[in-house]
Amino acid sequence: MPHRKIESRAVAVPSSRLSRLAKLGGLASSIAGNVAADVAGQLVRGQRPRLDELLLTPANALKVADRLAQMRGAAMKVGQLISMDAGDMLPPELAEILGRLRQEAHHMPVPQLRRVLTEAWGRNWQQRFAEFDAAPIAAASIGQVHRARTKDGRDLAIKVQYPGVRRSIDSDVDNVAALMRVAGLVPGGVDIAPMVVEAKRQLHEEADYEREGRCLSSFGALLADRPEFRVPELHPDLTAPNVLAMSYVDGRPIDSLAPAPQPERDRVLTLLIGLLFRELFEFRLMQTDPNFANYRYAPATGQVLLLDFGATRAFPAEFAELYRRLLRAGLGGDRAGIRAAARDIGFLADDVPARLEQAMLEMFEMSLQPLRQDAPFDFGGSDLAMRMREAGMAMASDRAHFRIPPMDTLFLQRKFGGIYMLATRMRARVDLRGIVEPYL
C-alpha cells in the first residue's frame, strides 16, 4: 500500500522572525483575552478567580496547539517535546491537545514549495524530473515529503524543509518556552531550561538535512548485515542543507500489523527491540524519535522500513556502560547496584528525599521485571505500562523535587518508552532477557 497523501490544509509558513513573533504575540493576546473574560464572569458570579486555573484551560491549550501547528518549525517542535516530556505532569485533556502536535501539521502552498526548491536546486530544477508530485505524502514540524521520479529513472522521496526554520530556531524556542510558562502550560516548579538548551541543539541538527543524510547512510551501512531491515538510500546529488533526497520505500504503517498473526507481530517487535539495544551497546548511535511514523512494514518481504534520521544521537561509551551496569544489577536483583548505577546516570540526586528515592528504585525494579523472566514477556497481557505510568505520575506530583534527567538519559528513555508503547499496542510477546543478555 503506498503512502497516503496527507489531508491537511496548505498554509503558508511564516518565515521571518517578525512574522513568527507576531503569531506568538497574537496568541498571547488571545489567551489574555480568554483569561480576562473568565475573570469578569467569575467576579460577576461573586467568585474569587485563580489565575493558574484560568490560564490552564483546554481552550487555551487548543489555541496554543493550533497556532504552533500553523507555525511549524521549532515552535511546533518544542510543543511536541513538552507534550512528550512533561505530559505526565499536565492534566490529561491538556496533554491530549498538545499531543496533537505529534500527528498534525499543515503543508506549504505550492508557490512557497517552488520557491524553496528553486533556492536549493536552481531555476531549472524541474528539468531534472520526469514527475514531481506537488501534493506531499507526509508533513511534520520541520518539513514535508514529496514523491518524485528523475529523468534517469530514480524513484525518490524528497524531504523539503519549511522556509525560515533554521534561522528562527533559537528565537522560536525561547519565545514558545516563555509562552508555555506564561500560559500556565508547564508546572511552575519544573525547570525546563535544560530542555530548552537541548531543544535548540537538537533542532539545529535536525534542520541540517546534509547531516541527516550522513546519518541515513551510516545506518544503512551498520544494518547492511541485517536484510530484515531496510533503510532508504541517500541521493547526494539532490541533497542540500534544506532538501534531502532518498530512495522511495513502499510500506504500510507499522501499527497496521495489529491484526497480523501473533508470530509475525512477535518477530517484528523482537527485531525493533533488538535494534534498540544494538543501537545503545554496539553502534552507540541511536535514532531517538519514537514516533510510530518512523517505522513502516513491507508485507511482500516482511522487512521493517526505518525512516527519518534527523534525531540521530551518538552516546559516549561511558554512558552505554552505565546502562549496562544498571541492567546487570537489575537482572541480578542487586538493589544496591541499581541505586549506584541510577545515581551515576543522573536519575537520583543527592537532595532526593529517602521516600522519593525509594519510589524511584521501586519503579526501576518494576521496569526490569520483563527482563528477569526466562519466558517471552507478553506486552498485551500485562498491566505493567499502566502501573509504571501511575508510579511516574505520583513521583512527578512531588513538584519540589522533580528534576529533568540528563539529556542523553531523557532521549534514551523516550525511545525505550516509544518502543514499549508500540509493543503494547501490537500485543507482542518478546524474549527480552534473550535479547539483552548478550550485551551484558
- Classified as helix, coil or strand, 344 is helix
The label of the residue with cell 525511545 reads: 415
Measured torsion, CA atoms of residues 234, 235, 236, 242, in degrees rounded to the nearest 10 = -80
The values of phi and psi at residue 225, to 5°, are -90, 5
Tell me if residue 289 is catalytic.
yes
Return d(Cα 176, Cα 75) in angstroms, integer. Answer: 6
The per-residue DSSP string of 190-247 comes to ---HHHHHHHHHHHHHHT-HHHHHHHHHHHHHHTTT-TTEE-PPB-GGG-BTTEEEEE
Of the candidates 38, 266, 289, 408, the residue annotated as catalytic is: 289
Question: CB within 8 A of 112, min separation 6: which ones?
Answer: 12, 13, 163
E-state strands within 52-128: none
- Classified as helix, coil or strand, 52 is helix
Burial environment of residue 245 by CB neighbours within 10 A (0 to 12, 13 to 18, 19 or more): buried
- Which positions are annotated as active-site residues? 289
